[in-house]
A = this chain, B = another copy of it.
Amino acid sequence: MGAVTARLGPSAALVGPGDDAAVVAAPDGRVVATTDVLVEGVHFRRDWSSAHDVGRKAAAANLADVAAMGATGTALLVGLTAPGDLPVAWALELADGLREEAARAGAEVVGGDTVRGDAVVVAVTALGDLRGRPPVLRTGARPGDVVVHAGRLGWSAAGLALLQAGADGPAALLAAHRAPEVPYALGPALAGLGARAMCDVSDGLVADALTLAAGVALDLDPPAPDPGVDEAHVLHGGEDHGLLACLPAGALAAAVGLGCRQVGTVVAGSGVRLRGRPVEPQGWEHW
């Protein structure tokens, strides 16, 4: 990555950027790995988001997936496709955003590849460590479990609606669309509380709840929307990358103590319900 790699700073990896490949510690003997791609004009607009925002968002989308397995992020690899006229400063600020978001999750950028292309495409792979625990899958919820959420509900979608309407505030909602605030540490913490199923909310609360409804139903009863956020944003907005988990009911108080909110219960049946009535996911369109 040349100048971009240099911007990433010193590496604590066993082998950092600059060789054929990086070498990252995997003390657990297993490594969690996930890839997400952000495309200009689909997932972000350069006139709405700074390069720093895009870097943070690309890192967060992947590191939230690692947290949703109950793991702690260790490393990011970044593939950047950039038009020839992309300012170098933009790529450097992207690297800053990637590095800073990685640090929030305890990870670092260990490698990458920059190639020429017509659009800006940011492909990120995140690695993580389970620290001896089994991974928390999407399957495993049982009737009687509580459904808890950590993080923001609907903020990113509300911020997007404001940007689309040309509004210049509230600043917190605009910022929430540009880059999420992900409660990374709660992934391993919820795993430690015995989470039976977990995912991050990237496509919307209802849509992602549906992926946890394996042989069971999730009956949602989310809290009232935060100021400036509509219920539709809470139910169907994506990209906040909060954590959604099904826990034994006895662990609810501990989860609330960590900052989670109960947003439903697991019942017999199938699909997702909203206060007892079936509800369908709505396709979340990135802007």
Contact = CB atoms under 8 A, between A and B. Distances in A.
Interface of A: 14-15, 19-39, 41-43, 65-66, 68-69, 71, 75, 77-81, 110-113, 115-119, 121, 123, 125-128, 130, 135, 137-138, 198-200
Contacts of A14: 30, 135
Contacts of A116: 39, 42
Nearest to A110: B33
Given A36-B113, A71-B21, A79-B37, A31 B123 contact: no
Contacts of A119: 117-119
A113 to B, nearest CB: 5
Contact of A30 (B26, B68, B117, B128): B26
Contacts of A24: 30-33
A129 to B, nearest CB: 9
17 contacts: A14-B30, A15-B135, A19-B138, A21-B32, A21-B33, A21-B71, A22-B32, A22-B34, A23-B31, A24-B30, A26-B28, A34-B111, A35-B112, A35-B123, A35-B125, A42-B115, A79-B123
A219 B197 CA distance: 58
B25 A111 contact: no
Nearest to A120: B117
Given A20-B138, A35-B77, 4 more contacts: A20-B65, A20-B200, A27-B29, A35-B112
Given A116-B42, A128-B21, A138-B20, A33 B111 contact: yes
A111 B143 CA distance: 29
A6 to B, nearest CB: 16
Contacts of A111: 33-35
A213 to B, nearest CB: 14
B117 A121 contact: yes
Nearest to A80: B37
A19 B19 CA distance: 31
A121 to B, nearest CB: 5
Interface centre among A32, A35, A75, A81 (most CB of B within 10 A): A35
